[in-house]
A and B are shown apart, each in its own frame.
Chain A
């Protein structure tokens, strides 16, 4: 029942999924006109007229605190429980948890409910910083698998099965394997096979589906984590599923104990969860169940068209399913429009800047050799045409020789100590340019995509330093260090 394409009227699941218990309860309390002597103090907006004018009175009336008829996210017994059960059903999971601290908190809950201090966890190095942050918090030890790499594109791919087998053999007591499904660029590993190998070795499989919500709702998309048999998955409904920014869902399958997972989530999650975010998850789930297939068909059609038109222009390479190689690119997410820009002599981030500054077009991110545009069913054909024409114009007016452009996004890390140990170690501040050979005590990354160039506990090699300086020079938005200007970095003494 995962990858749920609705069966049809008369089916009881079909009837159930029509319900939105949480959103309905919220709407009922809005109509009931309660006299509120609880927080928030804006009291349906009357206590802050300027904000009400700005956001609209309906949104303000929906912004309420937990109360008996609206259940409590930390201890759900009624409408939140019901809404989460419907989400679990729609995604083919045994349990689902609504998250209001972003997919970051869902990734951290997966790791923290699986590992404790000193436990090993196998993961590809090209994970989002939220995963490594979880290691800093809980003290688990990473066993990194170097992802495959595409030499032409300079991007990290998925994990090869041979490398996964090797990692399992070398770290037999690891608690879990974490998998990106897919990477930011839309690349998937062989998830079904990884699940088989991990479960045979007694390890959990945790899937970071920050960019994979849509996999559950169209049969031509790569396999979803729950359908592949993963134990836990962090699905970022707000990114490609239509809910409000910062809302997300954590999906789990038995034997993962949902009551323990809830306790772990409660360690860090807000006790004043926003009902705007929660109700958006409830309504987005219903919408995905009934319209998801149609939405993602339209998205794939737009993306396929844009890819073929951009490749017609020459110079750019909008890559797609042709990258699939049966191993490190086991499947490709066709909704992603990723474009390699190096052959026209421009960094992805430079094209990103020209698109926004000169053409009024905002895309998701640009890094050194590539950029990514997010396509959705909310796009209009004329906007897709604008994007393609802007690509052509930038090439016509700005094309240069690619000589001298840095050519890879991924550097094999040299691990000196565990992330937690490095993060809490005694540190000193050194100029970035003089940091070669030292061990980083903090992250450096471009955001987005938020994949660390160097993470706490890793050695700053000449390659790492060159990557940081080049990305900074080209205008990437660099984050992670205490020094907001990235001229200095904290290293372990």
Chain B
């Protein structure tokens, strides 16, 4: 018997990978959590049936979330990560000695516990002394915060299910308030390619654009995600992601990355025409 895992990218498009073993199957208070071993993508985390990260290509996603803002903002000391219970984003952030504190807010405690046990490649830095982990609804955690963070990274699952609240205008607005006067908000921004996901891209972008003076998106190429073409949101109170990029400063840090570099940084903001059109349409709404 062969075991295959299928991620439904749209009702009409499926992406399947052969699996050797199901390592974890657990129903948490929030969602169904599965961890599989696959020949092509290594160990894989699946939430409510949807693919979250794979051992093979998670570096692309996590590096793009963390290093793009870190190369722009000259003085990040306090960071908030919402979601990201697998620890991958935190792992990238701990590469910066200048960061003083990282708060990780994950709604599902079991994701963190299982990641610590079964996904060491992402969870390895969760025990860094600068990291505090909070098990709470992201919206609720941010609500009480004001002028506390230099950088907020929203490392959420898709905008249906437990992470719905993290794609709303009220969430982005409370993030704005929680950021200092030169703060940056980065978020997982879905894929522009399939019509079903395009709606999420449009909604997220229009909500962020109302709350932040500067907002745009950048892209990365993640083979296991729907269409492989993925967007990230860059919203900022002060810094421009291109003109404020300090590549000399960043390169002097000699941070080890496999995907990100400062040339790619600029390229990531050069968007295909159809994506530019989507953003323009949203601005006009």
**Contact residues of A with B, CB < 8 Å?**
309, 358-360, 381-383, 385-386, 388-390, 392-393, 396-397
Contacts and interface: CB of A to CB of B under 8 A. Distances in A.
Interface in B57-103: none
A383 B173 CA distance: 16
Interface stretch (B31-39, B125-133, B164-172, B230-238): B164-172
B177 A396 contact: yes
B143 interface: yes
A385 B165 contact: yes
Given A382-B137, A385-B137, A393 B169 contact: yes
Given A382-B137, A382-B165, A389 B177 contact: no
Given A382-B162, A382-B165, A388-B143, A393 B137 contact: no
B170 A389 contact: yes
Contacts of A381: 137
B174 A382 contact: no
Contact of B169 (A358, A388, A392, A396): A358
Task: Give the most central of A381, A385, A390: most B CB within 10 Å.
Answer: A385
Contact of B139 (A386, A396, A397): A386
Contacts of A382: 137, 139, 162, 164-165
Contacts of B164: 382
B174 A392 contact: yes
Given A359-B169, A381-B137, A389 B174 contact: yes
Contacts of A359: 168-170
Interface residues of B, number: 16
Given A385-B140, A392-B174, A393-B169, 12 more contacts: A309-B143, A358-B210, A359-B168, A359-B170, A360-B168, A382-B139, A382-B162, A382-B164, A385-B165, A386-B165, A389-B142, A389-B171
Given A386-B139, A389-B139, A392-B143, A397 B173 contact: yes
Contact of A393 (B140, B162, B165, B173): B173
Contacts of B139: 382, 385-386, 388-389
Contacts of B142: 389
Interface string B221-252: 00000000000000000000000000000000
24 contacts: A309-B143, A358-B169, A358-B210, A359-B168, A360-B168, A360-B169, A382-B139, A382-B162, A382-B164, A385-B137, A385-B140, A385-B165, A386-B170, A388-B140, A388-B143, A389-B139, A389-B143, A389-B168, A389-B173, A389-B174, A390-B170, A392-B143, A393-B169, A393-B170
Contacts of A388: 139-140, 143
Interface string B124-155: 00000000000001011011000000000000
A39 to B, nearest CB: 38
Contacts of A383: 165
Main secondary structure of the interface of B (DSSP, over half): helix
A388 B210 CA distance: 19
A398 to B, nearest CB: 11
Nearest to A390: B170
Contacts of A385: 137, 139-140, 143, 165
Contacts, number: 51
The list of the 7 closest CB pairs from A to B, nearest first, reads: A389-B170, A385-B139, A393-B173, A390-B170, A382-B165, A393-B170, A389-B139
Nearest to B146: A396
Contacts of B170: 359, 386, 389-390, 392-393
Task: Give the most central of B139, B142, B170: most A CB within 10 Å.
Answer: B170
Contacts of B162: 382
Nearest to B161: A382
Contacts of A386: 139, 165, 168, 170-171
Contacts of A392: 143, 170, 174
B136 to A, nearest CB: 10
Contacts of A358: 169, 210
Contacts of A390: 169-170
A381 B173 CA distance: 19
A382 B170 CA distance: 12
A359 B171 CA distance: 10
A433 to B, nearest CB: 38
Nearest to B163: A382
Task: Give the most central of A360, A383, A386, A388: most B CB within 10 Å.
Answer: A386
A371 B169 CA distance: 21
A26 B181 CA distance: 64
B251 to A, nearest CB: 39
Nearest to A383: B165
A386 to B, nearest CB: 5
A396 B169 CA distance: 13
B242 to A, nearest CB: 29
A309 B142 CA distance: 13
A449 to B, nearest CB: 26
Task: Give the most central of B162, B164, B169: most A CB within 10 Å.
Answer: B169
A190 B241 CA distance: 64
A383 to B, nearest CB: 8
B183 to A, nearest CB: 16
Nearest to B166: A382
Contacts of B168: 359-360, 386, 389
Nearest to A385: B139
Contacts of B171: 386, 389
Contacts of B210: 358
A37 B33 CA distance: 54
Nearest to B139: A385
A386 B140 CA distance: 9
Contacts of B174: 389, 392-393
A389 B171 CA distance: 7
A360 B177 CA distance: 20
A199 B192 CA distance: 69
A214 to B, nearest CB: 26
B84 to A, nearest CB: 17
A305 to B, nearest CB: 10
B81 to A, nearest CB: 18
Nearest to A312: B144
Contacts of A397: 173
A392 B142 CA distance: 11
A388 B165 CA distance: 12
Contacts of B140: 309, 385, 388-389
Contacts of A396: 173, 177
Contacts of A389: 139-140, 142-143, 165, 168, 170-171, 173-174
Task: Give the most central of B168, B174, B210: most A CB within 10 Å.
Answer: B168
A205 B78 CA distance: 64
B173 to A, nearest CB: 4
A382 B168 CA distance: 11
Interface string B260-277: 000000000000000000
B164 to A, nearest CB: 6
Contacts of A360: 168-169
A393 B169 CA distance: 9
Contacts of A393: 169-170, 173-174
